[in-house]
């Protein structure tokens, strides 16, 4: 009897130990699962942070490129909205190199816009006189510019816009003005022909 009871006690103890081992294993398994879940969450957050970082860098790069393009695409000479007619010529015209410097060629539309903010001398150099654009300040044939230089602005940096009938004589006049020391010269490309082709008028003030 005593031996039997001893065996029974040992059997119970063994069963209890086995059960305890199973609980420990189960507990360890649960801890491992929780640990894996925690690690996965951390990895997910890291991936998310990396994605956010990449997107932020891309956005900053786009902004930098956009701002840079704005500055690069600004007209030369720092021309801003509301600038006068002479500055408008710099921003919208084309520069033509010549002996002793350069001048700027502008279209009839640009000249019309410049006249709305007139801050220059408008000079008709066509010979013989055939009329002029409204707003003209001086009529001096291109062949007489040197002889009549005293009639021109005394400030050699003052803007002067020259024109003729087709643009040929005004180009010669622009070169003459360069030779006289003027540095801010604008030429109406196509002359009065281009002006009237846009539907604008020529007026006759009998200056010939």
pLDDT in tens, the chain (208 residues): 444 444 444 444 444 444 444 554 444 455 555 555 566 777 777 887 788 877 777 778 767 665 454 444 444 333 334 468 889 888 899 999 999 999 999 999 999 999 999 999 999 999 999 999 999 999 999 999 999 999 999 999 999 999 999 999 999 999 999 999 999 999 999 999 999 999 999 999 998 7
CA distance 177 to 169: 12
CATH of the domain at 126: 3.40.250.10
Q: Exposed/middle/buried for 134, CB within 10 Å: 0-12, 13-18, 19+?
A: exposed
Query: For the chain, how far is it from start to end, CA to CA, in angstroms?
Result: 151
Query: Do residue 94 and residue 164 come from a single domain?
Result: yes
Confirm if 90 and 76 have CB atoms less than 8 A apart.
yes
Q: Residue 55 is part of which domain span?
A: 1-73
Does the residue 79 lie in any domain? no
The total number of structural domains in the chain stands at 2
Does the residue 204 lie in any domain? no
Query: Do residue 22 and residue 118 come from a single domain?
Result: no
Q: Please report, for residues 100, 165, 188, the alpha-carbon distance to residue 112 in angstroms, rounded to integers and kept in the order given.
A: 28, 16, 10
Query: Do residue 136 and residue 110 come from a single domain?
Result: yes
Q: Please report, for residues 114, 121, 197, the alpha-carbon distance to residue 137 in angstroms, rounded to integers and kept in the order given.
A: 14, 6, 22
Q: Give me the percent of the chain exceeding a pLDDT of 70.
A: 71
Confirm if 170 and 187 have CB atoms less than 8 A apart.
yes
Does the residue 80 lie in any domain? no
- In tens, the pLDDT along 118-127 reads 999 999 999 9
Does the residue 53 lie in any domain? yes
Query: Do residue 59 and residue 120 come from a single domain?
Result: no
User: Given 20, 42, 73, which residue is the final one in a domain?
Assistant: 73
Amino acid 139: pLDDT: 98
Q: What pTM does this model have?
A: 0.61
Does the residue 203 lie in any domain? no
Q: Provide the edge-to-edge strand list for the sheet that holds 94-98.
A: 94-98, 101-106, 185-188, 160-163, 121-124, 138-139
Query: Do residue 95 and residue 67 come from a single domain?
Result: no
Instruction: Determine phi and psi for 195, rounding to 5 degrees.
Output: -60, -50
User: Given 73, 99, 123, which residue is the final one in a domain?
Assistant: 73
Instruction: Determine phi and psi for 180, rounding to 5 degrees.
Output: -85, -5
What would the two tokens of residue 36 be?
Answer: 């894996």
Amino acid 66: pLDDT: 59
Query: Do residue 13 and residue 93 come from a single domain?
Result: no
């Amino acid at each position: 009897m005593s031996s039997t009871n001893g065996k029974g006690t040992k059997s119970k103890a063994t069963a209890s130990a086995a059960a305890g081992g199973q609980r420990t294993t189960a507990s360890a398994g649960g801890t491992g699962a929780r640990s894996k879940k925690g690690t996965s969450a951390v990895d997910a957050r890291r991936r998310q942070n990396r994605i956010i970082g990449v997107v932020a860098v891309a956005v900053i790069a786009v902004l930098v490129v956009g701002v840079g393009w704005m500055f690069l695409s600004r007209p030369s000479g720092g021309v801003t909205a509301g600038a006068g007619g002479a500055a408008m010529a710099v921003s919208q015209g084309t520069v033509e190199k010549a002996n002793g410097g350069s001048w700027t060629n502008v279209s009839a539309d640009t000249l019309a816009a410049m006249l709305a903010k007139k801050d220059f001398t408008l000079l008709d150099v066509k010979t013989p006189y055939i009329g002029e654009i409204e707003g003209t300040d001086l009529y001096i044939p291109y062949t007489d510019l040197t002889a009549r230089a005293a009639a021109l602005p005394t400030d050699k940096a003052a803007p002067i816009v020259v024109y003729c009938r087709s643009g040929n004589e005004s180009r010669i006049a622009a070169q003459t003005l360069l030779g006289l020391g003027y540095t801010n010269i604008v030429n109406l490309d196509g002359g009065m022909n281009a002006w009237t082709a846009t539907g604008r008028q020529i007026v006759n003030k009998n200056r010939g």
